[in-house]
Amino acid sequence: MDSSSLIFMEKKLPLIAIDYSDEDIKTLDWKEHIRRRPGMYIGKLGDGSHADDGIYVLLKEVLDNSIDEYMMGYGKSVEVTVKEGAVSVRDYGRGIPLGKVVDVSSKMNTGAKYDSKAFKKSVGLNGVGIKAVNALSSYFRIQSNREGECKQVEYSRAVVTDEKEIVPTNEANGTYIYFIPDKDIFKEYEYKDEYIESLLKNYVFLNSGLTIHYNGKKFYSRNGLVDLLNENMTTEPLYPIIHLKGEDIELVITHSNQYGEEYYSFVNGQYTTQGGTHLSAFKEHIGRVIKEYYNKNFEYSDIRAGVVAAISIKVEDPVFESQTKTKLGSKDMGPQGPTVGKFIGDFIKKELDNFLHKHTETSDSLLRKILDAEKERKAIAGVTKLARERAKKANLHNKKLRDCRTHLNDTKGEMTEESCIFITEGDSASGSITKSRDPNLQAVFSLRGKPLNCFGLTKKIVYENEEFNLLQAALNIEDGLDGLRYNKVIIATDADVDGMHIRLLLITFFLQFFPDLIKSNHVYILQTPLFRVRNSKQTWYCYTEEERLEAMKAVGKNPEITRFKGLGEISPDEFKHFIGKDIRLDQVTMRKEDLVKEMLEFYMGKNTMERQNFIIDNLVIEDEIAS
């Protein structure tokens, strides 16, 4: 560019003065900061349709304090009630010191867990959690019963509305908290039993002897992490679960015939869904000890193929990587203790090695599993190399994948949890999504026709089949979920018979070869509208027949009704409404009763007549629905 061009640009772009003075510097009150930036304290808001939505974090923040009481030896039961969006939690611990009830519920960074022996190995360490619940609730009541006396305070959005004097009481020691999440922040939220019950089960699995009562149900565990594994496994273990327990550490491990690795990790009772230093050490030392026990130079991937395991440790003053505490960052067990890695490594080296020497049937079964994994890996080694080369030659990023700029495992930015990839079929559908998406956070992978039914096939097919090979490469899950590039893997197909079939084939692929992708809550189905109802002033997008009828009533006379037959029929301008902040997703989940092998055998196997009779017996004619 020459100097005349620069002069021209300077004349075209005059300098705009922006004032920056003392008045621009503001200090937010603590409760206002929480309400303006709730994501810093509870993660995403959500509406209760996902297990990590904010309303469950509010419940968990209150429960953590009750669990901390139990861990310190006070109060063997907790009562939880959720009714019409309101939550109450009553524990039978020591109760908050009555003179500090207001402080612990409304003064930031106030609590009993700083350099205190009263809470040695606690989850709640920052004095923030209960205050965040208070600030984000339209109504919040806290009551402490302690040694025959009671103190109660009521709030609205963290502002005291009623503070009672200390009065005598006959109630047992403990703390009672009742709150209603603020609908100005959590719009149209709804608590779902399945997510609450999963949370409560983890609490009792990690605290044998604790009883939690929830809406008339009782949760109790006698066998700790063994019960947790039995609750979550969807395939039969190849050998009885190995259960090892010591001071500040408990672990369980077994193997199954599923592909992939499945881990559950906890710190001070907190479910660290993203792992951390403790899980990394656990995985490393399990492999190392097993190699040494058999005196074989096995590949770590062969040792961990099909592993299902859980570890729980207790750490003094743990450091988590966020307020939601989903990943442990601590390197030490405590100020005077060993490193997390050495503590876990020493325990596994001693206890697991002893166990394998004493239980030869288990060690023989484990050896057979490792050898089978090694045999399969070597059998597909050549295919794997060719597949990787083929993936490079296919120019993945231009032909199959329209990538986004931000990924799940990026170290920069705060929005990586929102990264997702849409798996769709056909040029028109992928074209509409590509033009409508947010290129920073949303990627698109385009299938060519229906994928292969891979049920009953070995993992060799993942590398031999071009579609599967490129999809695996796009997700970066060949070596497990540690490298997963997107938090949400969204299957986006037409809402017709062919689209449903493609969904089923893709879910079969994930269940067969990457079940941990589903168990870790990464797989979703995109819901798109079936109808558009509009008049000259308004437009309604309807996902069900009921919504269509409601929209027609709202429109009045002579509505224009469009039935969308496929994603490719929806214009990019319209598609923006369906994959933006109002996106509708159905999560693909797995439960204990969903025995994967049996389920896939029935729906995707060769039992043609049995499946045909099932379809006929359960067939609902479309005309009957319409009538």
SS3 273: coil
Confirm whether 18 is domain-assigned. no
Show the tokens assigned to 417: 């949890």
What integer pLDDT is reported at residue 426 of this predicted model? 78
The alpha carbon of residue 338 and the mean position of all alpha carbons in its chain are separated, in whole angstroms, by: 31
CB count in 10 Å sphere of residue 15 = 6
How far is Cα 420 from Cα 485, in angstroms, rounded to an integer?
8
Selection from 112-121, 123-132, 161-170, 541-550 with the highest mean pLDDT: 161-170
Work out the pLDDT band at 411, boundaries 50, 70, 90: low
Last residue of a domain, which of 188, 220, 252?
Answer: 220
**Looking at the structure, do residues 256 and 283 belong to the same domain, yes or no?**
yes
| Domain that includes residue 85, residue range | 33-220
In a domain, residue 53? The reply is: yes
Task: For residue 274, tell me if it sits in a domain.
Answer: yes
526 Cβ contact list (under 8 Å, min separation 6)? 422, 490, 491, 492, 493, 578, 579, 583, 584, 585
**pLDDT given at position 627:** 36
pLDDT at 610: 66
Give yes or no: residues 535 and 617 share one domain: no
Q: What is the pLDDT of residue 226?
A: 95
What one-character-per-residue DSSP string does 199-253 give?
HHHHHHHHSTT-EEEETTEEEE-SSTHHHHHHHH-SS--SSPPEEEEETTEEEEE
Distance from C-alpha of 140 to C-alpha of 158, rounded to nearest angstrom: 8
For residues 106 and 193, membership in a common domain is answered with: yes
Number of residues written out for the chain: 627
DSSP 524-540: EEEE--SEEEE-SS-EE
- 342, 405: one domain: no
* CATH number for 301: 3.30.230.10
Which residue type does 199 have? L
Q: Which of 343, 375, 407 is the last residue of a domain?
A: 375
Q: Provide the percentage of residues in the chain whose pLDDT is more than 70.
A: 83
How far, in Å, are 240, 484, 493, 586 from residue 500 at the CA level?
38, 25, 7, 14
**pLDDT tens string 540-598:** 888 888 999 999 988 888 889 988 877 877 888 888 888 888 888 888 887 766 666 66
- In whole angstroms, give the CA distance from residue 192 to residue 182: 17
Indicate the average pLDDT of the chain: 83
CATH at 454: 3.40.50.670
Which of the four pLDDT bands, split at 50, 70 and 90, describes residue 414? very low
Within this chain, do residues 420 and 546 fall inside the same structural domain, yes or no?
Answer: no
Burial per residue of 250-268, b for 16 or more beta-carbon CB atoms within 10 angstroms, e otherwise: bbbbbbbebbbbbbbbbbb
Residues 585-616 as b/e (b if ≥16 CB within 10 A, e otherwise) read beebebeeeeebbebbeeebbeeeeeeeeeee
Report the predicted TM-score, pTM, of the whole model to 2 decimal places: 0.78
Same domain, 66 and 100: yes
Q: Identify the band that residue 114 occupies on the pLDDT scale cut at 50, 70 and 90.
A: very low
For residue 158, CA distances in Å to 103, 105, 182 come to: 12, 8, 11
> pLDDT tens digits for 136-173?
999 999 999 999 999 999 999 989 999 999 999 999 99
Output the six-digit token pair for 516.
Answer: 């941990």
- Confidence at 222, pLDDT banded by 50, 70, 90: very high
Q: What is the mean pLDDT of residues 257-279?
A: 88
Both 444 and 456 in one domain: the answer is yes
pLDDT of 115 > 50? The answer is no
Q: Does one domain contain both 542 and 435? A: no
Per residue, what are the HEC states of 469-489? HHHHHHHCCCCCHHHCCCCEE
Task: For residues 372 and 374, give the distance between their C-alpha atoms in angstroms, rounded to a whole number.
Answer: 5
Give the neighbor-by-neighbor strand order of the sheet with 401-402. 401-402, 442-447, 420-425, 488-491, 523-527, 584-587
Longest dimension (CA), the chain: 88
Q: Is residue 140 within a helix (H) or strand (E), and if so which, with residue range?
A: strand 137-146
Are 464 and 553 in a shared domain?
no
Q: Is residue 301 located within the same domain as residue 435?
A: no
* Mean pLDDT value of segment 415-441: 86
Whether residue 85 is contained in a domain is answered as: yes
Q: From CA 435, how far away is CA 455, in angstroms rounded?
A: 34
**Residue 445: in which H helix or E strand, if any?**
strand 442-447
d(CA 614, CA 616): 6
507-536 pLDDT tens trace: 989 988 998 899 888 999 998 888 889 888
Yes or no: say if 195 and 51 are a contact pair by the CB < 8 Å rule.
yes
Q: Which residue has the tokens 């009704």?
A: 561
Determine the pLDDT at residue 7.
34
Q: Which amino acid is at 170?
A: N
Residue 356 in any domain: the answer is: yes
Token pair recorded at residue 179: 């709150």
Residue 537 lies in a domain: yes
Q: Which residues pair with 180 in a beta bridge?
A: 139
Task: Give a yes or no: residue 603 inside a domain.
Answer: yes
| Number of domains within the chain | 4
Residue 208: give its domain's CATH number: 3.30.565.10
Same domain, residue pair 401 and 326: no
Residues 461 and 385 in one domain: yes
pLDDT digits (tens, 9 = 90+) for 321-347: 765 667 888 787 776 778 989 999 999
Identify the three-state secondary structure at position 91. strand
CA distance 616 to 86: 44
Residue-wise pLDDT tens digits, 51-104? 888 999 999 999 988 988 888 889 999 999 999 999 999 999 999 999 989 988
Choosing from 197, 220, 243, the residue where a domain stops is: 220
